[in-house]
């Protein structure tokens, strides 16, 4: 009977923390879409606030439904394990990336947070269906604050109702969480400082940034900043337009080409053929037949293996400072 009771308790805690909490937070994050703040810092802050509020609400309600007195460690172990899990995964991603804030480890790593990955994407995804590398590195803070706010409110509620008979160990837990949080913050601060110190170009007027104002470089958008050709191109595509994708830094390059060569398209229809999903996303789209040409860096061994597994024949065409990869899904003449 005690084992069954323990299993039910663990299941209830896990379901609340990894299913109910993120789903409710996603629902509350609908304001990101309403106020068009998804993808910027305000979208991240709004999502954090929604996650904290939902975590506090579910923790408080859960605390009121505790019928028997409980000890701190056994009663809060599921939530504590998830807190340390989120911090550990976050720390591992930062260590593996080793200062490379555009590393794919951050984009693949958020999948380890289950439903929270959908919450993270809803907060950080821009109009270009990309996630800014300047924010994805702190994305794990979303599940962390969810678990933490749930635990704190549940602790307060249970203690106020005099259902917590033994709080031994709570100070050690708090110190350990604080130590891991400080370690992550310190490591991020050092990597940020080291990254800036090693940068060769630090002039905003001359450097290629990893993000830009949405719409500024969209093809066929009025008053965009795309480079216009000085003469009429010798090639014109009236239909069967190749699907382009690639890294943010070279989006203006292939967007300019699309605007010059693609005809019979407008600002509402061109997005199906000209996308910017960043390097990891562009490779994924190419390998799965959702893109024809991508402008990205050289593929990793994992991406090459994935392409071979999908039967995709990759063709490499070097360009100045960049590479263009073509998958011969269709022949263009």
Tell me the pLDDT tens digit for each residue of 182-195: 988 888 888 877 76
Residues 31-49 have a mean pLDDT of: 75
Decide: 323 and 297 in contact? Cβ < 8 Å.
yes
Rounded CA-CA distance 309/300 in Å is: 14
- When pLDDT is averaged across residues 32-40 and rounded to a whole number, the result is 67
Residue with the larger pLDDT of the pair 73 and 33: 73
Reply yes or no on whether the pLDDT at 214 is more than 80. no
Q: What is the pLDDT of residues 288-313, one digit of tens each?
A: 999 999 998 888 888 888 888 888 98
Q: What are the angstrom distances between the C-alpha of 195 and each of 188, 312, 317?
A: 10, 36, 30
Query: What is the spatial distance between Cα 184 and Cα 87, in angstroms, rounded to a whole number?
Result: 8
pLDDT at residue 210, rounded to an integer? 54
Q: Are 117 and 110 in contact (CB under 8 A)?
A: yes
- CA proximity to 103, closest of 92, 112, 94: 94
d(CA 107, CA 151) in angstroms, rounded, equals 27
- Work out the end-to-end distance of the chain between its first and last CA atoms, rounded to an integer number of angstroms: 74
Which DSSP letter does residue 274 get? B
| Arithmetic mean of pLDDT, 34-42 | 68
What is the chain's mean pLDDT, rounded? 82
Bigger pLDDT: 1 vs 327? 1
Q: Is the pLDDT at 15 greater than 90, yes or no?
A: yes
Q: Please compute the mean of the pLDDT values over residues 39-47 and round it to a whole number.
A: 78
Whole-number pLDDT of residue 157: 93
d(Cα 307, Cα 305) in Å, to the nearest integer? 5
pLDDT value of position 200: 43
Mean pLDDT over 272-292 rounds to: 90
What does each C-alpha distance from 293 to 73, 125, 127, 317 come to in angstroms? 54, 22, 20, 10
Confidence band (pLDDT; 50, 70, 90) for 212? low
pLDDT at 131: 60
Residue range 139-148: mean pLDDT, rounded: 93
pLDDT band at 235 (very low <50, low <70, confident <90, very high): confident
Q: How far apart, in whole angstroms, are the C-alpha atoms of residue 267 and residue 166?
A: 64
* pLDDT, tens only, 45-78: 888 999 999 999 999 999 998 877 788 888 899 9
In the chain, the domains with their CATH numbers are 2-198 (no CATH), 212-333 (3.40.190)
The band of 201, judged by pLDDT with boundaries at 50, 70 and 90, is very low
**Could you give the percent of the chain with pLDDT greater than 70?**
83
Tokens representing 115 are: 């439903």
- How large is the average pLDDT for residues 152-176? 86
């Amino acid at each position: 009977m005690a084992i069954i009771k323990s299993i039910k308790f663990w299941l209830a805690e896990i379901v609340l923390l990894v299913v109910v909490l993120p789903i409710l937070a996603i629902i509350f994050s609908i304001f990101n879409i309403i106020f068009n703040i998804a993808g910027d810092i305000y979208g991240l802050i709004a999502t954090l606030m929604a996650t904290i509020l939902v975590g506090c609400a579910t923790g408080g309600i859960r605390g009121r439904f505790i019928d028997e007195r409980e000890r701190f460690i056994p009663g809060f172990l599921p939530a504590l394990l998830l807190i340390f899990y989120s911090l550990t995964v976050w720390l591992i991603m930062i260590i593996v990336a080793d200062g490379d804030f555009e590393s794919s480890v951050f984009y693949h790593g958020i999948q380890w947070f289950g439903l929270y990955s959908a919450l993270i994407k809803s907060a950080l995804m821009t109009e270009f269906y990309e996630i800014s590398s300047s924010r994805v590195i702190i994305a794990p803070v979303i599940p962390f604050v969810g678990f933490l706010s749930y635990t704190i409110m549940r602790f307060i509620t249970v203690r106020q109702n005099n259902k917590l008979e033994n709080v031994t160990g709570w100070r050690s837990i708090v110190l350990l969480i604080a130590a891991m949080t400080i370690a992550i913050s310190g490591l991020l601060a050092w990597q940020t400082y080291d990254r800036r110190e090693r940068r060769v170009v630090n002039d905003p007027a001359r450097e290629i940034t990893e993000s830009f104002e949405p719409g500024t470089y969209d093809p066929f958008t009025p008053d965009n900043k795309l480079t216009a050709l000085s003469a009429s191109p010798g090639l014109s595509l009236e239909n069967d337009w190749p699907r382009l994708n690639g890294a943010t830094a070279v989006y203006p390059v292939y967007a300019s080409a699309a605007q010059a060569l693609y005809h019979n398209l407008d600002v509402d229809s061109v997005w199906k053929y000209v996308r910017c999903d960043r390097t990891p996303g562009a490779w994924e789209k190419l390998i799965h037949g959702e893109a024809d040409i991508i402008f990205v860096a050289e593929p990793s061994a994992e991406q090459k293996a994935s392409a071979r597994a999908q039967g995709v024949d990759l063709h490499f065409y070097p360009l100045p400072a960049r590479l263009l990869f073509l998958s011969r899904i269709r022949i263009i003449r």
